[in-house]
Structure formats: structure tokens, C-alpha cells
Chain A
Amino acid sequence: MDYLNALVAFLNFVVVPALSYGSQLAIGALGVTLIFGILRFSNFAWGDTMAFGTTLVILLTWWFTSMGINFGPLPTALLALPLAFVGTAALMLLTDKWVYQFYRKQKAKPIILVIVSAGVMFIMNGLVRLIIGTQEQNFADGERFVLSAQAFKDWSGLAEGLAIKTTTAVTLVTAIAVMAALFWFLQKTRTGKSMRAFSDNEDLALLSGINPDRVVQVTWIIAAALAVIAGTLYGLDKSFRPFIYFSMLLPIFAAAVVGGLGSPLGAVAGAYVVAFSEIVVTYAWKKVLGYILPAEWAPEGLTQLLSTDYKFAVSFSILIIVLLFMPTGLFKGK
């Protein structure tokens, strides 16, 4: 019977990883949901937009480090964010001008825009691979830990350690800041309000004098910022490989749909639901139960609901259940 150790083991292996993965998904899902709400299509090129932004961040990070610039204990990549954001926003606006604008003028159906975005996805896919190649890149530097497992054990005298990586801390702080800024922008500023109006009812918004081109541009710029931040945080915390970013589409869309497409609050909630369920459902409870239960009740087996092989199945199951019983998602999206 040792509740403290059980709690620490649970925090270390479930809560901390799920929080950081969930925050990365949340920022990504916010971008997807924003584009869906205002531009009215599911952007399949999203994963590769994140990859493109992160590629710029990596290149800038290398350049900064070669010039001897760093960010002390924090990753240098954070310094590269603003410049990479400018580059990604430029790419977004150009893509819109060259590709999406044409279809918008035609009043094309959403499904056509989805297919168009799949085409954009393939081009960005190739672009990223041309620039940085297909290999894995690690670009995290600075202090690795805020709190290392060993330091925690020494300090607390417990058998279990609790590790908090710098990248986890950076992820959480950035995620909260980004979400707060975005919600403030959407609720309080004039542009934000016009975006919400445009999203709710396009015709009414146009009648009341909202400039649609401006709304679209602002949407792409915000989406670019979210893509760069989400991609960089994920890359810092894990590592960067173009293919992984492409396959991030699935959990990100699952998060956005679970929360309700078009609802920013839903995207955040959905992201944490997906992240926590992936880890909690496949977690082996043996250790935690071993601490909580009396010795003679301690489980022999791993007490795991599902093998870790099935962790992707978990997010899909949630997706299907939500679509069956609450088709508009947890927060009444579209």
C-alpha cells in the first residue's frame, strides 16, 4: 500500500506524456478546425504544412547555432519560430492565391476543395522532402530536463521517479499561451468577431460589410502560426521526420472531429480525449495496482486493457463512437 508511489508512477508514465502529446495535438486541431469553420473544408495538406513550418525552423536553428546564437537552457528552435512563421504564412497565402482562390470564386463544393487540398498535400510533401530529405532530424538543444527522474527520486526519497523534460514544459506553457491568445482574438477583437460571423453565416456577414478576402487571409495567417508551433513542439519533444507529420493527420482530425469540427473549444477538448485514451487504454496497470493493493492482491499479469499495438485503433474507435452517437461532436460543431 503505497499511494504516493502509485501516483508518481501514474503521473510519470501516463499524465505527463499524455498532457504534452495532447497539447501538441490541440494546437494542430485548432488549425484544422479554424480552416474548416471559416474556409469550409477539411485541409488534408495540414500535416505537411506542419512539416514545412518545422523544416524552416530546423534550418534556421542550424543557422543560429552555427552563428553561436542560442537560447540558454531553452531550445534554440523557439528563437527560430517567428521567422519560420513568416515563411510559412507566405506559403499559405501564395497557395491560397494560386490554388484555393480559384475554387472559392467558383463556389466549388467543399468536397472538391478537400480533393484540391489533397493535391496541395502531395506537392508540399515533395517540397519538404526536397528541402530537408526523408531522414529523422533532432533539433532539440539546451537543457534536457526541468526535473530528471533521478533528481526527483533523490529529493523525494520515493522508489518511483518523475521526469519533466524541458520540451514538455515548453509545450505546456506555449500551448496555454497560444490557446489563450487565440480565444481572446476570436472573442474580443474586431477581426476575430468578423471571422466568427463569417463562419456562422457567410451571406449575413457579407451583407454587414465584412471583407471576405481579409477574413480568408487572416485565417491562413493564424493557421500558419498554429502549424509552425504545433510542428515545432512535436518535433522538439519527439523528433522530426516528414512521414510522421503526414501520419499525424489522423489523430489531429480525430481530435477535431471528436470535439466538433469548427469549434475551437471542442478541438482542444478532443485533442486531450484522444491523447489520454491512447495512453490510458493501452497502459499496463500492474505497477500502479501493485502499489495500491495489498501484496496478496497484486496482479500477476500486466493488467493491460489493450496491447500497445492497438493504440491507433483507440483513436479511431472514439471517432466512430462519437460520430455514431454525437455526430456533431462533443461541443456541437458542424
Chain B
Amino acid sequence: MKKLLLASAATALIAGAASAEDVKLGILFGFTGDIESLSTNMASGVDYAINEVNESGKFLSGSTVIGIRADATCSDSSVATASAEKLITADGVKGIVGAVCSGTTRAVLENVARPNGMVMVSPSATSPALSTSEDDGLFFRTSPSDAREGDIMADILLEHGVKSIALTYSNSDYGKGLAEAIASSYTAKGGVVTINIPHDDTKTDFSAEVASLAAAGGDLLVIAGYLDSGGKGIIQASLDTGAFTRFGLPGGMVGDALPLAIGPALDGSFGQVAQSDSGGAKILTDLGTAAGFDATQPYTMESYDATALIILAMQAANSTDPQVYKEKIMEIANGPADGSGEKILPGQLGHALELIAAGKAIDYDGASGVTLVGNGESSGRYREFEVKGGKYETVQFR
């Protein structure tokens, strides 16, 4: 055991120097648990970015990137921290892409990343709480905070002339966080939230909830929930009793299954979903089809971008030391303030590495149109839509 520790410590030491060698990246995703169906595809996005860099041979004078997968689950913080410990101490990774769910991300950040000074870029943790947590400049995310969606939704509601809303949320971390974000932004901008109650996704009878929502009233009903379970039930029950006829639909309620189940009564409802109009999205989708993965799956583009950000920042700092390259991540993502940086899209990572090596500024846009704001989180692009004829018709991107 002692020898093993010594050996791994020695490897870690050697790996610290910036000459042509293997640079390890941790891929800390939820390969088991609540979002196991998403994680495999997200990891394909990471692998694709790594391959692209390795094939170019331009990274840190010919270094190779090696991705090492570890399981963070979605809700088991002790497993996540143990996996992260292993990545850092045993595998000697130089950066971590992950974790995926907000709770485990926070646990890893506080218990492992900060004590070890490790950079973490999460593609999918969206909890507003992460915006304000202490991170020593080590934590970034390529997905926007739910607080941002609340802000956007409040704007959209007010622009539609909606003065008061009834609000119901799925009784989960996601639903509760999003509902709070919507309620606080909307109230701050002058709207009235008549009622804010949870609904349980494991039930099918929502008479009592809809009765309360209807009694409280409001111009429309906003549902921060899931389209496959409780959200659909609430809409159906509201329409059946005539309680509400129009609905505000945040990201979790967007999917073709919903208009199919509800029918024409859903027309006229509106909302927004995190989605980019950047050209990069289509490029990565096509590249992914050729490489055998589906980039349109949730958070796959963000995973690709998170990986690219770490690698490009290492190149810009000419170092794989997290304490050094962490300073470069915002710079790579946003480019120089005067906008002179060359836009980098998926498939151009080799070109970007060349530009950085030549001392030229770049502005990494990637697949999801990366722009980091605040504490290092994506500003996020949202597609505003209105349901027309059973389709989510795009109104605009904002």
C-alpha cells in the first residue's frame, strides 16, 4: 500500500511539469442513478473534444489528453466525493469535468476540489445556490443557473401582459429552485404571484391542487415541473375543470409528448427552454452523428464545451497546474473585452490551440454559445416559444 501511494505521488509529481506527456482529465458524471440515461451521452461529448485535441497534436507541445471516468451518481454525495478523491489522489487528474447534479457538485466542490485546489467545470449543475458558494475561483459551469431562467421567464410573462400568475412546482430540488427563481424575479419586476404550491410527481390525482390554484386565480398558470409526470397531470386537470386555459412552460415542460397528450387546448401557452441559436450547435450535432453520438441530448453540448474550456485554458496558461490555468478560463470563454478574439466553434479546437500558441486572442463559443458571467457560469441562451398547432414555435432567442 505504501509503495502504491509513493508510486502514485511520484506520478503526480512528474505529471506536474509542462512538457510533452499525458494530461489526465477527470470525467465525474452520474453514470449510475437518476440521470444515468444522460451521462453516457454527455461523456461521449467529452470524449469527442478530447479526441479532437489529441488528433490535432497541437496541445502543449504534443501532449496527449486522457479522460478518466468516475461515477458521481446524482444524489449520493459520499460516493461523489470518494470518486473525486480517487481522481485527484490516485489518478492525478489536472482538472475535472463534472459533477452533473447540483447537490453532488456542491459536495465535491466543498470537500474535495477546494481543499485540493482542483478546477471543476460542470456542464449541467443549474442550482442558483452554486452561484454564491465559495469556490476560490475554481468552479465554473457551462450551463446557466436556474435563477437566469426565472429572470427570463419573468420578462416573457410581463411582455405578454400577464399581471398575475398562479405557480405550482414539482416537489423536487429542480422544481423548487426554479419556482423560487421565477417567483422572486417576477415579483421584483412588478408581477403578482397569487399562490405557490408544490405538486407530487408520483400522484395522478391533482383535484385538490387545482382547486387551490383556481381559487387563488391569476392570468395564467406557470408549471415548474416535468412534462412526463405531474406537470402534464396539472395541465389536464386545469383544463378539465376550466380553472386555467393558458400556461407558462419552463424548460422541464418542453417536449413533443406534451402537445401530443393535451391536444389543441395547449395552443397559446408559452415559455422558454435553454437552447442556443449559435452556429456551433448544428456543427456539433453533425459531427456527433458522424461519430456515433447524439449531441442534441440534454447537456451533451455543454459537456463538450466544458472539456474544451479546460484544455484551451491549459494551453493559454502553458501549464496544467489548476492554480495557474484557472485564471485563463474566463478569458478563453469570453475573449478580450473589445471583441477582437476569433470565434471558436466545435471542430476548430486544433485551430484554437494553434492561435493560442501563436499568442492570438480567441473567444470560445463552442456548441452552446459559451459566455461566462458572474462567478463563472454560462449566461445561457433561451429559446422563447409559443405553442401553435401542437408545435413549439420559436418566437426569439434571448
Contacts and interface: CB of A to CB of B under 8 A. Distances in A.
Contacts of B160: none
B204 A307 contact: no
A12 B241 contact: yes
Name, among A150, A161, A247, A287, the residue most crowded by chain B CB atoms within 10 Å (CB to CB). A287
Contacts of B212: 282-284, 302, 304, 308
B242 A161 contact: yes
B204 A244 contact: yes
B241 A163 contact: yes
A301 to B, nearest CB: 10
A185 B243 CA distance: 42
A311 B212 CA distance: 12
Given A165-B240, A241-B204, A244-B203, A308 B197 contact: yes
A127 B242 CA distance: 38
B207 A18 contact: yes
B202 A308 contact: no
Contact of B214 (A18, A287, A308): A287
Contacts of A144: 240
Nearest to B236: A239
A14 B203 CA distance: 18
Interface in B236-250: 240-243
A229 B226 CA distance: 30
Contacts of A283: 208, 211-212, 215
Contact of B216 (A165, A284, A288, A309): A284
Interface in A142-201: 144-145, 148-150, 152-153, 161, 163, 165
Interface string A2-22: 000000010011100110010
A12 B204 contact: no
Contact of A308 (B204, B209, B217): B209
Contacts of B216: 284, 286-287, 302
A273 B214 CA distance: 23
Contacts of A311: 208
Could you say which interface size class chain B belongs to?
20 to 34
A136 interface: yes
B202 A148 contact: no
A284 B229 contact: no
A285 interface: yes
A138 interface: yes
Contacts of A307: 197
Name, among A18, A153, A239, the residue most crowded by chain B CB atoms within 10 Å (CB to CB). A239
B198 interface: yes
B123 interface: no
A64 interface: no
B179 to A, nearest CB: 14
B211 A13 contact: yes
Contact of A13 (B171, B203, B241, B261): B241
Contact of B207 (A21, A161, A284): A21
B210 interface: yes
Given A238-B205, A309-B198, A302 B241 contact: no
Interface string B178-208: 0000000000000000010111001111011
A62 interface: no
A279 interface: yes
B233 interface: yes
Nearest to B228: A136
Nearest to A17: B207
A143 to B, nearest CB: 13
Name, among A244, A247, A309, the residue most crowded by chain B CB atoms within 10 Å (CB to CB). A309
B117 to A, nearest CB: 43
The 3 closest A-B CB pairs, nearest first, are A149-B242, A17-B207, A284-B215
Interface of B: 171, 195, 197-199, 202-205, 207-212, 214-217, 228-229, 233, 240-243, 261
Given A13-B214, A163-B242, A244-B204, 6 more contacts: A14-B211, A283-B215, A286-B217, A287-B215, A288-B215, A309-B171
